[in-house]
Amino acid sequence: MTPKLLFRRVAVAEAFTWALLLIGMFLKYVAGTTDLGVRIFGMVHGVVFIAYGLIAITTWVNQRWQLGVGMLALVSAVPPFVTILFDRRVEAAGLLEGPWRFGAGGETPSTLPERVLAWLTRNPGLAAVVGIVAVAGLTGVALVVGPPASGS
């Protein structure tokens, strides 16, 4: 899977879970029918939000994005649906092209983030496990810290 395809899939998933959370919020706060949607879709969105952040950082390193582009990638997950707009913008600018730079036979990493990315791209099975553990661990931290303050 190319960096572009991975980034796009997670960007779309993040936007989709935003939509589910907004539906849940509508049911809770406008219709006043149930808070189940917020509880379920809030958790799903939180997990995908964290996954998007990790993939955005990975893509940032691989694609050698400038600081501003990388920060915009991360911030784009905060407002609903902006990850899709960001994805389209960086694709149009040619900033998602190319393979994983540090795969087998690829470039030699020179920085710590590049060395980590090289290990991940050269060990895709372990990278998937590391990604799942990282998302689960960060989700656990978020649950301990607690949800954003709400009015009810």
Q: What are 33-74's pLDDT values in tens digits?
A: 999 999 999 999 999 999 999 999 999 999 999 999 999 999
23 in Cβ contact with 92 (< 8 Å): no
Domain limits at 99? 3-145
Q: Would 141 be classed as within a structural domain?
A: yes
Tell the residue number behind the tokens 């991360």, with chain if given. 74
pTM: 0.92
Q: Would 150 be classed as within a structural domain?
A: no
Q: Would 32 be classed as within a structural domain?
A: yes
Q: Would 96 be classed as within a structural domain?
A: yes
54 in Cβ contact with 134 (< 8 Å): yes
Number of domains the chain contains: 1
Q: Would 40 be classed as within a structural domain?
A: yes
Q: Would 87 be classed as within a structural domain?
A: yes
Q: What are 69-95's pLDDT values in tens digits?
A: 999 999 999 999 999 999 999 999 999
